[in-house]
């Protein structure tokens, strides 16, 4: 039984994972409404909010804490003052309860998160079910990262494509800001785009050459800015759904075409999608179609496991790090935060 703590950015979260049953319970406290006032996450404020939220969550998790045999915690990458809150709590619990502690890399946890549902279907058969899906192409799209990663049969990760500038979520959020929408703007762009025509405004697709696997989103944001400079406030308001549809389309087209180019190189048995931007329904559909067209199963993380959450940290502590073999359990006093 693994109790996990996540505090890398603006969500405080706890989860308990039982390898024989799956995720037993998950709790999350989001600070998003507070950071919205500042147009982005304020690290100092976020760490103070973890300081007050984590003990409250833990008070509600006493039954689960009593069952925990291992403590897992996000050790990075993330905001240092925020990571420190979770790591300090994890170390304290491990010392007080004489439990081993496992530091989990947040991005590795995103890579493994689509497999939570595979485990839930048949916990006893998980090892065989996962083996049949490897090598796997993990598409991780969040506010801070855009990575296409190969997960091989030995669970080694190789980054096969990444953004050279902004992350996809950052592109959504910066675009939303230019359009006058509040932070974080991804879901709001999606909502507007659903009423719009993606053909009315055409935005650049980063690095269009298929053979070049790098992604780029910063030019897209600049193109939107130039477009808005040519329009009055009234025109922008009237065309908001079309602007959002065109902008979203450019992000999704780029992700879909680069993912397709990677898959066409061959060697994959499944595709996964995770991270906050994976909540976008059009992106889920487009990437699912791209996988199915190539005869590959598509695993999409459940919405509650797309953004930051402790469920994926607990799961990765077992499914990736290799518990209960225990090889990666660290003496509590030596676990530190890690930005790699
Ligand atoms: O994984 P996450 O919490 O990011 C990091 O902590 O890095 O995801 C947050 C990101 C934000 O950029 C947000 O705008 C984006 O995910 N996002 C979306 C949607 N829902 C969240 N982007 C596009 N469409 C959505 N429906």
DSSP character string of 77-121: SS-HHHHHHHHHHHHHHHHHHT--EEEEEHHHHHHHGGGHHHHHH
Nearest-atom number in ligand 1 for the CA of 172 is 14
Q: How far is the CA of 33 from the centre of ligand 1 (A)?
A: 14
Nearest-atom number in ligand 1 for the CA of 183 is 14
Q: What is the DSSP string of 173-199?
A: HHHHHHTTPPSS-HHHHHHHHTTS-TT
Name the phi and psi angles at 140, rounded to 5.
-110, 115
Per-residue pLDDT at 340 exceeds 80:
no
Pocket of ligand 1 (CB under 6 A): 9, 142-144, 169, 172-173, 184-187, 190, 275-277, 279-280, 307-308
Domains defined along the chain, listed by start: 2-120+307-319 (3.30.420.40), 134-296 (3.30.420.40)
pLDDT tens, residue by residue, 267-325: 999 999 999 999 999 999 999 999 999 999 999 999 999 999 999 999 999 998 665 44
Q: How far is the CA of 334 from the centre of ligand 1 (A)?
A: 32
Q: Name the 3-class secondary structure at 2.
A: strand
Peptide bond into 184 cis (omega under 30): yes
Per-residue pLDDT at 332 exceeds 70:
no
Q: What is the pTM of this model?
A: 0.94
């Amino acid at each position: 039984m693994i109790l996990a703590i996540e505090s890398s950015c603006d969500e405080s979260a706890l989860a308990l994972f039982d390898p024989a049953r799956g995720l037993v319970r998950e709790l999350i406290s989001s600070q998003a409404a507070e950071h919205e006032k500042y147009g982005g996450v304020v690290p100092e404020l976020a760490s103070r909010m973890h300081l007050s939220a984590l003990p409250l969550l833990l008070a509600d998790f006493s039954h689960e804490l009593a069952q925990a045999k291992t403590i897992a915690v996000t050790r990075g990458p993330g905001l240092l003052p925020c990571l420190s809150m979770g790591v300090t709590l994890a170390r304290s619990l491990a010392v007080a309860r004489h439990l081993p502690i496992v530091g989990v890399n947040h991005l590795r946890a995103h890579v493994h998160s689509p497999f939570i549902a595979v485990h839930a279907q048949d916990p006893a058969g998980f090892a065989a079910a996962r083996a049949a899906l490897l090598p796997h192409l993990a598409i991780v799209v969040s506010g801070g990262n855009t990575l296409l990663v190969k997960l091989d049969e030995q669970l080694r990760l190789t980054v096969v494509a990444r953004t050279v500038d902004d992350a996809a979520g950052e592109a959504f959020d910066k675009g939303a800001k230019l359009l006058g929408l509040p932070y974080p703007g991804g879901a709001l762009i999606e909502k507007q785009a659903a009423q719009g025509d993606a053909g009315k405004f055409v935005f650049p697709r980063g690095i269009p050459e298929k053979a070049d696997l790098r992604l780029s989103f910063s030019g897209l944001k600049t193109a939107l800015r130039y477009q808005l400079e040519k329009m009055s406030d009234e025109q922008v308001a009237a065309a908001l759904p079309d602007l959002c549809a065109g902008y979203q389309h450019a992000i999704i087209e780029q992700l879909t075409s680069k993912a397709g180019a990677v898959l066409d190189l061959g060697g994959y048995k499944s595709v996964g999608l995770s991270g906050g931007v994976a909540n976008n329904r059009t992106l889920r559909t487009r990437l699912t179609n791209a996988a199915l067209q190539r005869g590959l199963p598509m695993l999409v993380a459940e919405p509650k496991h797309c953004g930051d959450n402790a469920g994926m940290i607990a799961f990765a502590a077992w499914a990736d790090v290799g518990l209960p073999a225990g090889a990666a359990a660290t003496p509590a006093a030596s676990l530190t935060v890690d930005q790699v």
